[in-house]
Chain A
Amino acid sequence: MKIRVVNRILEANERIAEQNREVFQRHGNFVVNLMSAPGAGKTTLLLRTIEMLKERVPVGVIEGDITGTTDAERIGALGVPVVQINTDGACHLDANMINSVLSELPLSEIRLLFIENVGNLVCPAEFHVGEDMKAMILSVAEGDDKPLKYPLMFQESEVLVINKIDLLPHLDSDLDSIRSNALRVNPSLRVFAVSCKTGEGLTDWVEYLLKRVEDRKSN
Chain B
Amino acid sequence: MARVELDHIAHSYAPKAAEPAYALHPLDVVWEEGSACALLGPSGCGKTTLLNIISGLIAPSRGRLLFNGQDVTRLPTEKRNIAQVFQFPVIYDTMTVAGNLAFPLRNRGMEKRAIEVRVAEIAELLDLTRDLNKPARNLTADAKQKISLGRGLVRSDVAAVLFDEPLTVIDPALKWELRSKLKEVHRALNVLMIYVTHDQVEALTFADQVMVMRDGEVLQRATPAELFETPEHTFVGYFIGSPGMNFLEADVAGHQAKVAGTVFELGRSYTVPAGSTKVQIGFRPDYARTAPSGDIPVKVRRIEDLGRRRLARLALGPHEIYATVPHDVTIDGEDAALTIPPNRLFVYVDGRRIIGEDRR
A and B are interacting partners: no
A-to-B contact residues, CB < 8 Å = none
B-to-A contact residues, CB < 8 Å = none
